[in-house]
Amino acid sequence: MYPRIVINLKKLKNNLYKTIEMVKASGHSLMIVTKGCCADMEVYKLLEESDVDYLADSRIQSLKKYEGTKKERVLLRLPMISEVDEVVRYADMSLNSEIDTIIRLNEAAEKQGKKHKILLMIDLGDLREGVFFKNENEIYHITEEILKLANIELYGIGVNLTCYGAVIPTKENLSYLVETAEKIERKFNIKLKMISGGNSSSVYLIGRNELPERINNLRVGEAFLLGNETSYGKMLEGFYDDAFIFEAEIIELKKKQSIPVGETGVDAFGSKPVYEDLGIIKRAILAAGRQDIDPEGMHPIDSEIYVLGASSDHLILNVDNSQEDYKVGGIVKFKLNYSSLLRAATSPFVEKVYIK
């Protein structure tokens, strides 16, 4: 059935072991982030057999799938107060920035007879989660309150970069993270076990030997799945960018003009599209749409095809210049960027098949 993602587990295993070699050879522990493949269980089997230290995901529903794992499970998205019982039950560690939530996690951990680890997130300027690094008094206050909690272990601190504000991790800004950790340690006479220096956007610093020395953990998803670092979008040497291929079926193939007829307003998603006048072109419509994929993240294997746009259920292509003899019922294949992979892997309408 189509649409579908073809997952090449051999290529993915190559990427996994290249990631392990790259990160762990430099002395860092490794969290593999699985949200990009929606906690796929065939991918999980690869991870379970590997030297990965932690399985990390943003959704408790995904971490639930990993019951019985030999790895530690980490909840990446800040916990909701409404889910603290499940967080403690299914995650060994979570990322946090709100003391009210941490207090509730402590209560849940006490009820379950557990000790729950947390990373206190520090915002270095990307403006997503974390206590802002310049607000030292707030950092110290939260730390002091955490240390009073019997069933919470302040395991370390962490940072997220590039995901919202697109701030690139550098030796300079990550040094602020290390400096913050050392200030906490001196003030409270403790030793933090983990300083987590970000995600796949921090990977490029390993090759440059520019990760500050005390950073000892990275959280890697896109580099493992798609073979690229995310600061500059460069392919990593020896990695594959086509472990995931999206395939969809042609349901209409016709010559039409390239500009709509009549007065135009906004499309089904509230945007006002802009069209280029290419004259009469051969257009293919595929049975997939924004409910399944992000059309801006689709890269046709046939380099002479161009994605024109998409509605919720239809992906529209310009196939006018292609040398392939496409027909209704034929299949078009795509590489995916992270945004499109994330959506396709999450859609219940996209089948998954495996090359083992």
Q: Give the domain ranges of the chain.
A: 9-226, 244-355
Q: Is 13 a catalytic residue?
A: no
Quick one: pLDDT at residue 268?
64
- Give the CA-trace dihedral at 225, 89, 141, 124, to 10 degrees: 10
**For the chain, what is the total number of helices (H) and then of strands (E)?**
10, 17
Instruction: Using alpha carbons, select from 145, 71, 139, 132 the residue that is nearest to residue 106.
Output: 145
Residue 136: CB partners within 8 Å, gap ≥ 6? 183
9-226: in CATH 3.20.20.10: yes
Q: Which residues of the chain have pLDDT under 50?
A: none
Q: pLDDT tens across 251-306, in order?
A: 999 999 988 787 777 676 777 777 777 889 999 999 999 999 999 999 999 999 99
- Give the CA-trace dihedral at 150, 152, 155, 158, to 10 degrees: -140
Quick one: pLDDT at residue 273?
73
Q: What are phi and psi of 64, to 5 degrees?
A: -60, -35
Quick one: pLDDT at residue 266?
66
Active-site annotation holder among 11, 13, 18, 35: 35
Q: pLDDT tens across 139-178, in order?
A: 999 999 999 999 999 999 999 999 999 999 999 999 999 9
Quick one: pLDDT at residue 312?
96
Instruction: Enter the tokens of residue 18.
Output: 């290249």
299, 337 Cβ separation under 8 angstroms: yes
DSSP class of residue 79? P
- For residue 312, give Cα distances in angstroms to 22, 288, 339: 39, 8, 16
Distance in angstroms (rounded) separating the CA atoms of residues 203 and 188? 31
Pairing label, strands 152-158, 116-123: parallel
Q: How many other CB atoms are found less than 10 A from the CB of residue 39? A: 19
Quick one: pLDDT at residue 283?
97
4, 350 Cβ separation under 8 angstroms: yes
